Amino acid sequence: MNNQQLGEAKEQVKDAVRKAGPWVERFARFGFVAKGVVYACLGLLILRAAIEYRKEITDPYEVLTTLGHQPFGEILLGLIAIGLFGYSTWRIVETVFDPERKGNGFRGIILRAAYTASAIGYGALGLASFQLAVGEAIGKSDSAEGWTAEILSYEKGEYVVVLLALIVFGVGIAQLYQSLTAKFCDNLKLHRFSATERDWTVRIGRIGFAARAVVFAVIGVLLLRAAWSHNAQQAGGIADALFELGRNTYGLFILAGIGIGFAAYAFHLLIEAGCRKFFLHQI
């Protein structure tokens, strides 16, 4: 395929995405709702862990398991799986087509790397939700330790883990930046809100993004520790990050703060589901 044919193929794909824009947008909005449900449950379970002085810390996969034990749990898990696939699809669209015009500079490349990681992560979570919905177990390969061990088994795998740790740190810094500047409002149709509603939207968003910044920073440290020691058991996901945060003197208060922050982020996601601008016409 020559360059002209490749260019024509790209334009055909873009045209197809633009035409499917309304359905892509609906699918993505449902994805934000599903992600919000997961974060809301995660925040509540973290709060319970802090209040009841439980040593067991939860993660998104445990949230899915808990939801599966509720009445009509299989149906709920199936809906969440569809929603998370929708969110993952939107992240892929952002990576490939750059509808928000982030550009091809250093910042744009970093953002696209983060979108790609997000697409993979929530796609995997959606797959786990589907597996639980149909009665399958989630294997250890789905855990942070599992895929870190897989990467470390290859030659120079520790460098890949370091790269992943830096990406996670970058996501954490981006979350902190969003919290401090409230840039997350740029993609929201806030003209629909009253002044009071706008103020609370900003406050809630700041709290949610700050909580995520802390957790992503700790996950990055765990990945660096795993790469340095060449020991996958030193790596970890959200549950391990929360366990590390809960170990210090004020751990229970930190966990409670993270739980509140995750619940706030869930509320922000529901606002995004209803009021986000998707810019699909710019593809």
pLDDT along the chain (283 residues), means of 10: 66 78 90 96 89 72 85 92 95 89 82 88 91 75 69 84 88 93 92 92 96 94 88 82 82 91 97 90 72
**Main-chain dihedrals φ then ψ at residue 188, nearest 5 degrees:** -110, 145
Q: Are 122 and 87 in contact (CB under 8 A)?
A: yes
30-62 pLDDT per residue, tens: 999 999 999 999 999 898 888 876 656 677 888
Residue 144 lies in a domain: yes
Report pLDDT for 140: 47
Report pLDDT for 54: 62
Residue 5 lies in a domain: no
- The rounded distance, in Å, linking the Cα atoms of 97 and 25 is 14
- The rounded distance, in Å, linking the Cα atoms of 127 and 108 is 28
Report pLDDT for 56: 66
The two tokens of residue 18 are 């633009």
Structural domain harbouring 154: 14-282
Residue 127 lies in a domain: yes
Report pLDDT for 251: 81
Residue 7 lies in a domain: no
Residue 9 lies in a domain: no
Domain count, the chain: 1
Residue 236 lies in a domain: yes
Dihedral sign from CA coordinates of 33, 34, 36, 41: positive
Provide the 8-state DSSP code for 67: H
- The rounded distance, in Å, linking the Cα atoms of 167 and 113 is 8
Report pLDDT for 219: 92
Residue 88 lies in a domain: yes
Residue 4 lies in a domain: no
- DSSP assignment of 143-172 equals SHHHHHHHHHTSTTHHHHHHHHHHHHHHHH
